[in-house]
Structure 1
Amino acid sequence: MSPQIQAFFHTASSTYSYVVFDRAGGECAIIDCVLDYDPTSGRTATTQADLIGAFVVQQGLRVEWLLETHAHADHLSAAPYLRGLLGGRIAIGEAIRQVQGAFKALFNLEPEFRLDGSQFDYLFHPGEVFSIGGLTARALHVPGHTPADMAYLIDTPVADAPLVFVGDTLFMPDLGSARCDFPGGDARQLFRSMRSLLSLPDAARVFVCHDYPPATREARCETTVAEQRHGNIHVRDGIDEDAFVAMRTQRDASLAMPALLLPAIQVNIRAGELPPAEANGIRYLKIPLNGL
């Protein structure tokens, strides 16, 4: 059975979300969905998520999974909203527990906030095989950007051309790789994770989570292992681990903090749920002053 893919680009966060399904009228997974958030007003909206929901309904699909590649620092997850509309289970890698532990103290979260990942419906073990309807998929642990990053590999009838949704590991070849300076990030781990992805067959189709295109091209969501091995500016064949670590460390030191890191992380470690309402019925996000 050949996987079908529909991509959705969220311009405000440069994020790609995906619906992967076995056939029209069949089962699907939604990967890395986005909740619109305006930091100037503190308002959320479901405009982008509703585009995904409309597609799922139009195709007659049943949602089995709402997959997160990691706890994103650049957008809020819409997974709970889409689960409420369409069903499915919210899933992430089991190392999310480490990320929760790193940020609970920073945000001084409520004592009852658990560090066991139980906010998610399901936690994947590294290498775990699962199904999306008639499709066979595997959860690959690819730490480095964060300790909990997962890639999702989906088999196709052509054995040497699987699909892999790589989250924030590889970007398009002209952009390179993800940063590693968040809590728990590690450039050596990221190099090894990326090289493990690049050990897949050359024809494997690689779907990225973000694209920040230069003026010379439009945003793209798909490349191949062969294109990455030949042309990725950070991790192409011939670049060794020490050279990558030196480059990535120097580059990360020059990067500004993502604009939505503070709101996004405290929501996404809750599986996309907003913080509990306070006595006045309003939910609040915290901004730790001089905490980072």
Structure 2
Amino acid sequence: MTAASPRPDVAGFFDAATNTISYIVADPATGTAAIVDPVLDFSQRDGRTSTAGADRLLAEIEARGLHLAYVVETHAHADHLTAAHYIHERTGAPIVIGRHIGDVQRIFAPLFAADDVTPDGSVFSRLVDEGDTLPLGDLTIGVIHTPGHTPACVTYTIGDAAFVGDTLFQPDYGTARADFPGGDAATLYRSIRKIFALPADTRIFTCHDYPTHDRSEPEWESTVAQQRAANVHVHDGVSEANFVAMRSARDKGLAAPQLILPSLQVNIRAGALPPVEADGRRYLRIPLNTI
């Protein structure tokens, strides 16, 4: 990617309940679009789901006359439920995720006694590996495997834009935690260096933002140059050993995400809710005294 790289249209949609940013990425020449990391609204208080956030994305697609080609997931999220399955059912757009999602399914399906989950990623429409490409109109979606936060994390490059999931946050907030099962701080550092090897003007789009004491409004766009210069955890000059020491110490003080248990058992199913039980209801399972 250079100054002449294609520039997709990128629209971010902030979900305040989970601090998640979902994206519509479109090729301006053909109107072909992808949705990145959509959110299924979930109320932990009463166990109710809603598709309001996903419907907002679909309404925007329709209003702009776009053709939805893919729903792409950067990883299996532990802090929000994905609306990928709902959007797939509504539109037929295939759900894309990194091939190593099978590793995540093998880790977490037993936690929820999710016997319906086959740990090979087959519930998703398309599994992608490092170096794979997908057409997006006249643009191309590239895939970089960026594990460390989870084994299945991928970064998608589209023209001059890179969608990094949780691997990086805004420069003033830092980087993803690496203490989930299958996570690893050294691996995360190396993944970040792969992202930092992209051209300096590459636009970086993150999956979450948590405003700091210096700003009250969420942000989700930076550049490789800004990240390399100012990321508080991993700017240029921070060694792997120093990063691992910082990340490991920081992770020890972090609580589990509020929605980790509801999220993971839905997200390893590509956003489908658990199967209907004998009484006609669906249930989320909460293992006690386990994590």
Does TM, scored on the shorter chain, surpass 0.5? yes
SS at structure 2 position matched to 1:211: coil
Q: Could you tell me which residue of structure 2 aligns to residue 164 of structure 1?
A: 162
Shift of 1:131: 1.1
The superposition leaves residues 204-239 of structure 1 with CA deviations (integer Å, 9 ceiling, x where unpaired) of 110010000114321111000111011001000110
Counterpart residue identity of residue 104, structure 1: A
SS at structure 2 position matched to 1:36: strand
Shift of 1:25: 6.3
Shift of 1:290: 1.0
2:155 aligned to 140, 151, 155, which one?
151
Unaligned runs of 5+ in 2: 1-5
Matches within 5 A, 1:104-143: 104-110=109-115, 112-143=116-147
Q: 1:76 to 1:24 in 2, by over 3 A?
A: farther
Find the aligned partners of 2:91 and 2:123 in 1 and give their Cα distance. Answer: 18
Shift of 1:24: 7.4
SS at structure 1 position matched to 2:62: helix
1:8 aligned to 10, 13, 22, which one?
13
Q: Could you tell me which residue of structure 1 aligns to residue 268 of structure 2?
A: 269
Identity of aligned residues (%): 51
The superposition leaves residues 127-179 of structure 1 with CA deviations (integer Å, 9 ceiling, x where unpaired) of 10111111112011000000000100112xxxxxx210000101000100000
Find the aligned partners of 2:29 and 2:248 in 1 and give their Cα distance. Answer: 45
* Alpha-carbon contact 1:24-1:59 (below 8 Å) kept: no
Q: Could you tell me which residue of structure 2 aligns to residue 55 of structure 1?
A: 60
2:42 aligned to 27, 37, 40, which one?
37
* Alpha-carbon contact 1:69-1:166 (below 8 Å) kept: yes
Is 1:216 aligned to 2:214, yes or no?
Answer: yes
Counterpart residue identity of residue 227, structure 1: Q
Find the aligned partners of 1:215 and 1:185 in 2 and give their Cα distance. Answer: 28
Q: Could you tell me which residue of structure 2 aligns to residue 158 of structure 1?
A: none
SS at structure 1 position matched to 2:14: strand
Q: Aligned Cα RMSD in Å? A: 1.1
Find the aligned partners of 2:173 and 2:211 in 1 and give their Cα distance. Answer: 8
Find the aligned partners of 2:272 and 2:29 in 1 and give their Cα distance. Answer: 30
Shift of 1:52: 0.4
* Alpha-carbon contact 2:7-2:161 (below 8 Å) kept: no
Is 1:23 aligned to 2:28, yes or no?
Answer: yes
Shift of 1:3: 0.9
SS at structure 2 position matched to 1:291: coil
Unaligned runs of 5+ in 1: 156-161
Matches within 5 A, 1:135-284: 135-155=139-159, 162-217=160-215, 218-284=217-283
* Alpha-carbon contact 2:29-2:138 (below 8 Å) kept: no
SS at structure 2 position matched to 1:6: strand
Shift of 1:86: 2.3
TM-score (norm 2): 0.96
* Alpha-carbon contact 1:24-1:60 (below 8 Å) kept: no
TM-score (norm 1): 0.95
Find the aligned partners of 1:24 and 1:34 in 2 and give their Cα distance. Answer: 27
Find the aligned partners of 1:2 and 1:290 in 2 and give their Cα distance. Answer: 48
Find the aligned partners of 2:74 and 2:129 in 1 and give their Cα distance. Answer: 13
Find the aligned partners of 2:117 and 2:269 in 1 and give their Cα distance. Answer: 9
Q: Could you tell me which residue of structure 2 aligns to residue 90 of structure 1?
A: 95
Counterpart residue identity of residue 114, structure 1: T
Give the number of aligned pairs: 285
